[in-house]
Amino acid sequence: MFRNRKKRIKEMLLSEFGNLKTDSFDFVDIESYFRKKDHSAAFQTLSDKTCNDLDFQELFMFIDRTNSKVGQQYFYNKLRNIPADSTENIRNERLLDEFTNNPDFRVSVQSQLSKLNDREVYHIASLFQDEILKSPKWYFIVPLLSFTSLLSFIMAFFNPVFFLVILGLSIINIVIHFWNKKNLFNYFSSIPQLSNLNGVAQELFKNDNLKEINPNLMKSASVINKVSNRMSFFNLEVEIQTDQRMFFWLVFELVKIVFLIEPLFLFGTLKRIDTKRKEIEDVFLFVGEIDAIISIASLRKGLNHFCTPKIIDGQKRLFAQEVYHPLIENCVKNNLKVNDKSVLLTGSNMSGKTSFIRTIAINVITGLTINTCFAEHFSMPRVRVFSAIRISDDLMNDRSYYFEEVMTIKEMIDKSKGGNLNLFLLDEIFKGTNTVERISAGKAVLSSLNEGNNIVFVSTHDIELADLLKNEYDLYHFSEIVDHKTVDFDYTLKEGKLKNRNAIRILQINDYPESIIKEAIEISEELDKITVANTQSLLVN
């Protein structure tokens, strides 16, 4: 029976490799490790604003193929932190190949990792990230009461009157026992799972291929083993409740009350755990990294094509060949060359401008964090990523859309002066204000952001910006084909600025009154003349 079960698990793991996960995603628990993690050593930690702009949660649900909750938390944190160098990514490539080409090895590792897939595993990180519960000042009476109860129990065999002493002490002990229940409940999930994590880590470390991730892991694992006897008490508690052995549970509960076993074990264990935070995190990171590598291997297996990026540090260059957005089904692939300039995109609504900006940003992030790009070729510098794409009114703080955009872009301007390489992503800059000031402020801001080694990707409907920025920005556009009754988009990136405008034509094919169409065309032609004249005047000056 055990052999059949093992065979079924192997077949399941083999069939799932390269496919999307079908699990539900609880991002409160998934993000908890990331939220409390110290990221001061990272090259950049992606902000919530940028993640929201890039649909990061949807991206993670597509990329995540981890087998354990530890791996899932670790992998989420990995994707949100751009490292200062590629050392770790280069090292992991060999393991990626091993996991991809050696199914037996991969399945054996996945089988171990799957032991850490219970929801309670999410709470392990709290043992080294959160403040550990300290015993109250009056706690010194707990061991005294426990010892007195034990002594009275022994003496009762010689003098039955001591049973009355035990009974009296038990009244006090009941109060302390149930006061402690809430404390115990807070660690009821994490402590037993720590023991499981340590066991899995030690099994994985037996494989020579995995030892290079942390050659000194056994030092940390051995330290945790020293408190394993106390942790086994929590495992016993779980087992009893799980198996519904009610009679045994009742007897055990009475023993714990009389001798105050629970508070003694809990605070004794917590005291030891509090001094072992680094060791616990070492084991957590070891298991998480292994699971993340398998997840990347599974992701790559399921892609029609991908590449590892070429990092060209210190240069304002970005080359993309056959690049695509991983979340868009049958996404049209495009090519792009950025060489000492930034990129300005023009095009109508729904033509693909914003999706393309997100495509570039996602590929930069996954390239720098997991050494994987959704393209045939992708070259880029190591950059920090900032965005102003999805902006909304902040009603709670009485801020308008325009004011929110102003504050977001002001942060970008501050970052652009720091001497770092940055990638700035903007969609329809200053669309919350009037045309004249939008174009004027947009030109000034985009020129400023483009200075130094910064790379800017910006979309706009304002053709005037293309003319004003043509010496600083490479111009690209997306266009559509308007037929008698249809509008078709090819989502293909084209060089140059958009020349054909079809907004009025789209009104026409949707049966707007002819009088409206005629007036709109006449006004448009007049405004074009004024705009051309004003732009030429600015360029001359």
Helix axes 228-243, 261-274, angle to 10 degrees: 130
The reported pLDDT for the residue numbered 447 is: 94
- Confirm whether 371 is domain-assigned: yes
b (16+ CB within 10 A) / e for 12-36: ebeeebeeebeeeeeeebbbbbbee
For a pLDDT cut of 70, what percent of the chain falls above it?
87
Residue 430: domain span: 310-510
- Confirm whether 492 is domain-assigned: yes
Chain centroid to Cα 155, Å, comes to: 60
Name, in order, each residue with C-beta under 8 angstroms of 16's C-beta and a sequence gap of 6 or more. 298
The reported pLDDT for the residue numbered 398 is: 47
Q: Is the pLDDT of residue 407 over 90?
A: no
Over range 69-77, report the average pLDDT: 98
Overall number of domains in the chain: 1
- Confirm whether 516 is domain-assigned: no
- Confirm whether 160 is domain-assigned: no
- Confirm whether 129 is domain-assigned: no
- Confirm whether 253 is domain-assigned: no
Q: How many CB atoms lie within 10 A of CB 8?
A: 10
CATH of the domain at 339: 3.40.50.300
Q: Which segment of 214-223, 345-354, 502-511 scores lowest on mean pLDDT?
A: 502-511
Distance CA 416, CA 451 (A): 8
- Confirm whether 181 is domain-assigned: no
Q: How many helices (H) and strands (E) does the chain have?
A: 23, 14
pLDDT band at 396, cuts 50/70/90? very low
What is the tens place of the pLDDT at every residue in 221-273?
A: 998 887 766 666 655 555 555 555 666 767 777 877 777 888 888 888 888 88
- Confirm whether 177 is domain-assigned: no
